[in-house]
Amino acid sequence: MNVIEVKGVKKDYPLGKTTVQALKGIDLVVETGAFLSIVGPSGSGKTTLLNIIGCIDTPTAGTVKIQDEEITALPEQTITDLRLHKIGFIFQNFNLIPVLNVRENVEFPLLLMKNQPRALIDSRVKELVRGVGLIDQIEQRPAELSGGQRQRVAIARALVTNPEIILADEPTANLDSETSESILQLMRQLNQSEKTTFIFSTHDPEVLKHANSIIQLRDGLLVGAGVV
């Protein structure tokens, strides 16, 4: 089953008087449970594609379907809700809320869902935090954690709502290679245990070896796809 179907997606950015074509027509199908890596040099459109798939950006042309639902024409509020329920984000800069501790950061999306029983939230958060190995730091704030620890928290946060897809834009770019390795192993492990689709962008060849499929972008176009 396909979790994502991208068809003829183009994205133009105005840049001064000219227009930059970030995506020039992308067709892509992602199967449920994939661990997909998007590679390409900077400026090739990786982030733009991820943003469009993640419903935080809209294509200039083309359609995006998530679980067979066409999302490009949905109202803002519904899209926000869709992000909350179906998509998890992992950012290059971790983007944790600095005033919240590990537990609060992880439970944040669940609280946004409203009407979630407190007991359920607590057990889910504990399970995930334990899973990312930070149960001892659960009451600490992001500033007290290392980069790798922060990214683990971010992964836990992305997973907490049981999303269909987790999008990670250069998740290891700000981490040393050892930490990167462990983060990717964690992601892979979760991909398998939670059956969650992972799509991550990278330009680090080391990272690629973890992916089970890779697509390559250059100048806004797909230039190759395959399994490593």
Contact residues for other proteins (CB under 8 A)?
Answer: 51, 54, 56-57, 76-77, 80-81, 83-85, 89, 91, 93, 95, 97-100, 104, 108-109, 111-113, 157
Residue-wise over 150-160: b if at least 16 C-beta within 10 A, else e? bbbbbbbbbbb
Nearer to other proteins, 91 or 179 (CB): 91
We find the least distance from the C-beta atom of residue 49 to other proteins, in angstroms, to be 12
d(CA 80, CA 55): 8
SS (H, E, C) 77-140: HHHHHHHHHHEEEECCCCCCCCCCCHHHHHHHHHHHHCCCCHHHHHHHHHHHHHHCCCHHHCCC
First vs last Cα of the chain: how many Å apart?
Answer: 21
Nearer to other proteins, 142 or 210 (CB): 142
Nearer to other proteins, 83 or 210 (CB): 83
We find the least distance from the C-beta atom of residue 89 to other proteins, in angstroms, to be 5
We find the least distance from the C-beta atom of residue 205 to other proteins, in angstroms, to be 26
Residue 155 has, within 13 A of its CA and on its CB side, a CA count of 33
We find the least distance from the C-beta atom of residue 209 to other proteins, in angstroms, to be 28
Nearer to other proteins, 99 or 228 (CB): 99
Q: Given its phi and psi angles, is residue 111 left (phi above 0), alpha (psi -120 to 50 degrees) or beta?
A: alpha
We find the least distance from the C-beta atom of residue 9 to other proteins, in angstroms, to be 15
d(CA 150, CA 145): 6
Nearer to other proteins, 56 or 61 (CB): 56
